[in-house]
Amino acid sequence: MTITRFSVPPLSTVTRHLAAVAHGRAAPDLVIRDARILSTYSERIIPNREIWVSQGRIAAVKPAGSWRGEGAALYDAAGGILAPGLVDSHVHIESSLITACAYAEAALLNGVTSIFCDSHEIGNVLDKDGVDWMLEDARAAPLNIFLTVPSTVPATSPEFETAGGDLTPEKIGAIFDAWPEAAALGEKMDFVHVVMGDARSHAIIAEALKRGRPVSGHCYGREFVAAYAASGVTDTHEAIDRDIANDFLEAGLWVFLRGGPPTTPWHSLPQAIKAVTELGASTKRVCICTDDREADDLAMFGLDWVAREAVRAGVSRETAWSMGSLHGATRYGMDGEFGALGHSRRADIVLLNDDLEPQSTWYGGVLAVDQRKITAALDAQLEGERYVYPKRAYETVTVPDGLVLTPALPTEAVIANTVKTALPGIVLIHEQVRLDPADGGWDAQMDKHGLCFTAVIERHGKSAGNVGLGLLKDFGLTSGAVASSVGHDAHNIIVAGRSEADMQVALAAVRESQGGLVVVKNGRVVAKLDLPVAGLLSDKRVGVVAEEAAALKAAWADLGCTLPFMGFNLVPLAVIPEIRLTDKGLVTVPGMEILSLFEPLRAGANA
């Protein structure tokens, strides 16, 4: 049996039947008994209850022992907590390096049954076709997947980077009109352009507003909040601390608290939630989300983990789970379908232990995960009934021969405009460094200042082979090379290394596999994760990709790289301060000025 969100009939066709079941005139299909109910409506746990399920929907929540008839399948919850499936209010499937069908397996194991995803990654590579293909993939997946339509493709103007896609206001309007799954406009990342009244940015916002769709946001800096909110944006996942979270809430935005592995840039929840725990803000317009996850982190750091992090930060279990379910459904106007265990809602149900750890998951009334293992029905679908992307999606890396990946090094002392990395890695620092090759040669200068070469290579076949050259500072790489075709957001190839030879080996490996992540040591590839679909996704199941990602991380760390590869992939993202490297060169943010890598020495330069 194929389990999709379309397996559950529309509520309009089954109300008489559900009423009959709830009233005891017809038998339910399933009774989950001996349970406590986590009510996201009243934010309390109610003991001694059972749930009656019919045609994929909840017919009723009854006192324990109410069903005494025949004809219903029975499941003993053994006193566990039944809660609504989690709703991830903002996620990028592509960041997990897997397809939507593969993502569903990890999501259901984590108790997640609905997600709102922004597929701007594949849009940046394959334009509207890529978004359409991702939606076809999502329709085939055993998960409620809705699209927040990519709003900022490309993230900056062609003057500053070369992307494969160009989602104009007209194309965005067409996606809204063609796909019922298009629930909102995705994160408007070019917040400076929005605030400054850029015509194209506001035309894109208008496509959502005139259709009554909400507009999602992405904004750094308290000075931008008022104008950003005045532009029609009504949520953000970029609240990085207490005060800006409070500003967003008071400006009328929903705040999505982002939780992620603590060693990555995606764990802003502990600081932002202080708007609630310290400043007393209500959680009624606060959700939780994951935003980005690597494949091997999905099992340990899913949205259920984020909910538990919210509990550790000071909110109740019931409130934390509500922020992860009902609040997200409400934000997108879908709380009549999921987000709670209300009568007539989809039977997207999770069995939890007292620590809010998912044990079993029902998706549309079908048991997809039982005692932390996927069921045979789900396994069969994931193994044999997945969406297959068209051939063109496997042909997205076009790089000419003969490219040079390291700069011509000056023979005299110069000032270098370097990109300084620092954990957590979202913001990159523009640091000018005085380099003097007379002081021990270039290798000695690179060692002294913690530098390595980096290059961003245009891979969409839209230029004669643009290559932006730069120097990364404090990245920790002293030998070998690393490369990725997931250079946000244009998704050009980014390579870092200490020698031209190793960087060329890494680039060749990415080109050969039509996308991927590569680690090179002593002139040979020692770890590789192939991403042949749009240079972004593996077409394997999540468990396989997780193992490959873990092996690549180990090799990555062995080279001494201080940023994880997800942070490394952000080096070209020219919408986040202070400096980025794209295929057009070094770009300052928000000044949007292209800098030379080397400048003549001048008085007062840093030592």
Instruction: Show the beta-strand stretches assigned E in 322-382.
Output: 349-352, 358-363, 366-370, 373-374
Q: Give Cα 153 to chain centroid, integer Å.
A: 16
% residues pLDDT > 70 (the chain): 99
Give the mean model confidence (pLDDT) for residues 516-534.
98
Give the mean model confidence (pLDDT) for residues 460-481.
95
pLDDT tens sequence across 396-435:
999 999 999 999 999 999 999 999 998 876 789 999 999 9
The residues, any chain, with a CB within 8 Å of residue 313's CB and separated by 6 or more, are 269, 270, 273, 277
Instruction: Characterize the bridge pairing of strands 524-530 and 594-595.
Output: unpaired
pLDDT tens sequence across 320-337:
999 999 999 999 999 999
64 vs 383 pLDDT, higher one: 64
Instruction: Characterize the bridge pairing of strands 286-289 and 578-582.
Output: unpaired
Q: Has residue 361 got a pLDDT over 50? A: yes
434, with CB counted inside 10 A (0-12, 13-18, 19+), is middle
pLDDT tens sequence across 253-273:
999 999 998 877 678 999 999
What's the mean pLDDT when you consider all of the chain?
Answer: 95
How far is the C-alpha of 111 from the C-alpha of 257, rounded, in Å?
A: 18
Q: Which H/E stretch holds residue 485? A: strand 481-487
CB 33 within 8 A of CB 74: yes
CA-wise closest residue to 131 among 114, 115, 145, 118: 118
CB 337 within 8 A of CB 8: no
Q: Does domain 83-388 have CATH number 3.20.20.140?
A: yes
Q: Which of 131-135, 260-264, 272-276, 452-456 has the lowest mean pLDDT?
A: 260-264
Q: What is the pLDDT of residue 605?
A: 46
Q: What is the DSSP string of 591-603?
A: T--EE-SEEE--T
CB-CB neighbours of 208 under 10 Å: 27
Q: Has residue 604 got a pLDDT over 60? A: no
CB 57 within 8 A of CB 255: no
pLDDT tens sequence across 135-161:
999 999 999 999 999 999 998 889 999
Report which residue type is found at 334: M
CB 95 within 8 A of CB 121: yes
What are the domain boundaries of the chain? Answer: 83-388, 414-600
Q: What is the pLDDT of residue 265?
A: 67
